[in-house]
Amino acid sequence: MSQSVERGTQTPFKGTSAAPSSAPVDTIEVRSVRRSPSAEAPVSSRPQTSPSPPAGPGLPTGSQALLRLQANTLIHADFESAAVGFCAELAAIVRADRVALGWLEGSTCEVQGLSTGTALEVETPVLKLICAAMEECTDQRAVLVVPQGGDQRRIVRAQAQLQKLSHGTVITVPMAVNEQVLGAITLEFETVAMETAAVIALCEDASALFSSFFMVLRRDSLPWWRRLRPAAQARDSWSKRFKWALAAAAIALIVLSVVPMPFSIGAPARIEGLTQRSVVTPTAGFLKSVAVRPGDTVKAGQVIAEMLDRDLQIDRNKINAELAQHESAYSSAMAKADRAAMMVSQAKLAEARAQIELIDQQLSRVQLTAPIDGQIIQGDLTQMVGSPVEKGQTLMLIAPANQHRVIVEVDERDILSLKMGQRGSLALSAMPWDRLAIEVVRITPMASQIEDRNAFEVEARLLEGEATTDLRHGQRGVVSLEAGTAAPLPLWSRRLIEHAQRLWWRWVY
């Protein structure tokens, strides 16, 4: 928001870094800077609207004055001497009794240069009044003039107290760079040789021209640890926000470190059949045919595969021939009343009959049947027809269609937090939007190697009421098991601490 104030009253200042004007103006171009919460609305720029009033007799024009200031200020390499040279030259140009340049240190203003050359190490009442007047100017972000005109819209208490000492006029102009207030210039007159508006315009031009120069010199004069501090930390508003944020973070850390909260253990999981039955080969042989594939539903006793029986039939015929020979030898021994030969033939007959009975049992099992009602979950044998199989080889796996269990792969570092009966929820990768309630029913006492980590397989059941028709054997997901209450921060940092301890043990031992 732009403001324009008549001469003789307080006047907003120019905070831009544009080239200085050649003469004072009636309506002064301003731009506000943001330094404290007391001044929120920025003041925008406005173009000059009227010519400058003429300079007094024997006084330099605006351009000449700025050139003189530049020549007597830029020759100095340090902040203090440049500030003193600037004040002395400005006092000589406008014929002021005293000119002071102050710089903000945090929220207070400190005088850095005086045109009178007075020592600044000793704090005097006059220096305190000058600092107070500068702080009034920087807080209100506007040019302050005492005595004021009829429209008194600014606080000029400190200016008025300083004006009582000189019994003349006090003008304070702020210095700013990029909308940040850096300091102020205070001029004291017993008698003003130039018009007040011309003095203000010259001081604003000097502020716009030399603020950046003084900022660089001031920064270079500070110790290195202060130069590392961000410029924003010097602002009161930023400092307050930082303190509040720091306090909130400290409170949050204390709460997270002390207050117990419910926590859960997360682990990968998979779906398996509640019971699983294997279909194995009763004897070595060749696979003749396959009737089902994985995913098919079968009934108990249904033929699902068949093996070749040719070798068994050959063995049976061979043994039948040997049985006939033993029967003939037994009859011949009985006719001869050869008791010893009769006993040998009788034993061989019993052995042959036993072998035939064994082969008949094997022939009855060449057709492989489903042991239970369920679904084929493993064993695609369509590409193995005619291939040899070993005795006891698992060919297929059958599980009930709508009866499942959940196998949770709990990391060994979390197993101590689990107990029987703990509940949780299962989110499958195929159905992440559905949460299935589960309950721990069994904890395996021995760990196993799963994906390059030691884990315990924990068995959980689906609670009643959970839909299981959409579940399939082998589906994977993530389980969250309720594990009680504890402070969150130690839990979050536990893995990091454990990892650091293991590294320490490895290096030390």
- The pair phi, psi for residue 79, each rounded to 5°, is -65, -45
Angle, CA 234 vertex, CA 229 and CA 240 arms, to 5°: 110
For residues 262-299, b (16+ Cβ closer than 10 Å) or e, as one string? ebebebbbbbbbeebeebebebebebeebebeeeeebe
Residue 189, φ and ψ in degrees, nearest 5: -125, 135
Q: Which residues pair with 237 in a beta bridge?
A: none
Distance between CA atoms of 346 and 282, rounded to whole angstroms?
Answer: 30
- The DSSP code for 220 is H
The number of helix segments (H) and strand segments (E) in the chain equals 10, 21
Q: Which residue has the higher pLDDT, 5 or 94?
A: 94
Asked whether the predicted pLDDT for residue 183 surpasses 90, the reply is yes
Query: Sorting pLDDT into bands at 50, 70 and 90, what band is 225?
Result: low
pLDDT band at 269 (very low <50, low <70, confident <90, very high): very high
Element (H, E) at 502: helix 488-508
pTM for this predicted structure: 0.47
Q: What's the whole-number average pLDDT of the chain?
A: 79
> For residue 383, what pLDDT is reported?
85
Is pLDDT larger for residue 152 or for residue 123? 123
C-alpha pair distances (Å), 480 with each of 108, 422, 424, 427, 477: 57, 11, 5, 8, 10
Strands 142-146 and 169-177 turn out to be antiparallel
Residues 35-78: pLDDT tens digits? 333 333 333 333 332 333 444 445 566 788 888 888 888 888 88
pLDDT over threshold 50, residue 342: yes
Residues in the chain: 509
> In the predicted model, is pLDDT for residue 12 greater than 80?
no
Write out the two tokens for 242: 């930082």
Asked if 269 and 409 count as a contact pair (C-beta separation under 8 A), the reply is yes
Q: Is the pLDDT of residue 174 over 90?
A: yes
Give residue 101's pLDDT band: very low, low, confident or very high (50, 70, 90). very high
Residue 478: CB atoms within 10 Å:
15
pLDDT of residue 257: 87
